[in-house]
Amino acid sequence: MKTTDLDFYYGDFPALEGVSLDFYINRVTALIGPSGCGKSTLLRCLNRMNDLIPYSRAEGKVLLDGQDIYDPNVDVVGLRRRIGMVFQKPNPFPKTVFENVAFGLRVNGISKKTYLANRVEESLNLAALWDEVSDRLDDSALGLSGGQQQRLCIARALAVEPEVLLMDEPCSALDPIATQKIEELIHQLKSSYTIIIVTHNMQQAARVSDITGFFYLGKLIEVDDTDTIFTRPKLQQTEDYITGRFG
C-alpha cells in the first residue's frame, strides 16, 4: 500500500500536504509527530473514513495492490473490509461482547453459529482479551474497562481478517501489561498483515515498528528504517522531536 502526493483538506485547511509514503506487507510502519500534525487524518485517508466528513477532500493517490482507492469505481465497502481500523478512542458498540466481535462477520453474511463462536474466541485470544471476558461474552461491552474496550476493538477488527491494519494510538488507554500484550500481538500479526500504527510513545515506535515516518504540520518530514530514524536521523527536526526537545 502506498500514497503518492496525497493532500487532504478540511474545508480550506490543509491537513496533509504532499505525503508520499510506502507501506510494506509484513512490516510495521509507525507514524509519529506532534499532536495535530495529521497522523490520524492520514490513517483515515487510507480506508476512506474521511469520506464521512463533509467539506473535506483528498487529492493525490492512495494505491492498494496498485489500484487507486480514490478511483470512483472502487467499492468502498469492500475496501474497508480489507483495511481494518482501530480508532484512537475505544468505540465498542452498545451490544454484547460477543456481538461486537461477530459484527464484522455478520455484516459480511456469515451466520453459522459454530463458525462465529470459533472466530470470536480466536480473535479475542489474539487481542489478549479472551481470559478476561470468556465468562461475560453476553454482557454489554460498555461494561468493560477502557483498556478492555480497546482490545475488544482490536479483536473486532481482526475478526474479519483484513489485509492492512490501521491502528491509531491503540495503547493510549492501556496499562503497561496490556500494552505489552498488544505489542506482542503486533509482532505476531506482522507475518500476515501490513500494519500501520500511530503512536506518541517513542519507545513503542522503536520497539514495534520496522519503518518510522515523522510528520510535522501535515508534511512527511522524514521516513526511514526505524533503527536509522532513532539513531541517525538525517534531519535536525526529527532528532529534536525524538529526543523530546520539542513536541
Among 58, 153, 195, 211, binds another protein (CB under 8 A): 153
Distance separating alpha carbons of residues 188 and 25, to the nearest angstrom: 13
If binding is defined by CB under 8 A, does position 195 make contact with another protein?
no
The DSSP annotation for 34-70 comes to STTSSHHHHHHHHTTGGGGSTTEEEEEEEEETTEETT
Count residues near another protein (CB under 8 A): 29
Q: How far is the CB of 211 from ligand ATP (least distance, A)?
A: 18
If binding is defined by CB under 5 A, does position 41 make contact with Mg ion?
no
Among 3, 29, 40, 149, binds Mg ion (CB under 5 A): 40
Minimal CB distance to Mg ion: which residue? 40
If binding is defined by CB under 6 A, does position 103 make contact with ligand ATP?
no
If binding is defined by CB under 8 A, does position 107 make contact with another protein?
yes
45-56 in b/e form (b: 16+ CB < 10 A) is: bbbbbbeeeeeb
Three-class SS state of 107: helix
Distance separating alpha carbons of residues 8 and 25, to the nearest angstrom: 24
Among 24, 53, 91, 234, binds ligand ATP (CB under 6 A): 53
Among 23, 29, 32, 41, binds ligand ATP (CB under 6 A): 41
If binding is defined by CB under 6 A, does position 196 make contact with ligand ATP?
no
Q: Note the helical H segments in the chain.
A: 39-46, 76-82, 97-107, 113-126, 130-133, 146-159, 176-189, 202-208, 226-231, 236-242
Three-class SS state of 7: strand
Among the listed residues 207, 147, 33, 18, the one whose alpha carbon sits nearest the alpha carbon of residue 155: 147
If binding is defined by CB under 6 A, does position 46 make contact with ligand ATP?
no
If binding is defined by CB under 6 A, does position 45 make contact with ligand ATP?
no
If binding is defined by CB under 6 A, does position 3 make contact with ligand ATP?
no
Q: Which does 81 bind (CB under 5 to 8 A by kind): ligand ATP, Mg ion, another protein, none?
A: another protein
What is the signed CA dihedral for 35, 38, 41, 43, rounded to 10 degrees?
-90
Q: How far is the CB of 67 from another protein (least distance, A)?
A: 17
C-alpha 148: how far from chain center: 17
What is the signed CA dihedral for 111, 112, 114, 120, rounded to 10 degrees?
-30
Among 6, 15, 49, 124, binds another protein (CB under 8 A): 49
Contacts to another protein by CB under 8 A: 47, 49, 52, 54, 77-78, 80-82, 84-85, 87, 89, 91-95, 103-104, 106-108, 140, 142, 153, 156-157, 160
Contacts to Mg ion by CB under 5 A: 40
Contacts to ligand ATP by CB under 6 A: 10, 13, 15, 35-41, 53, 88
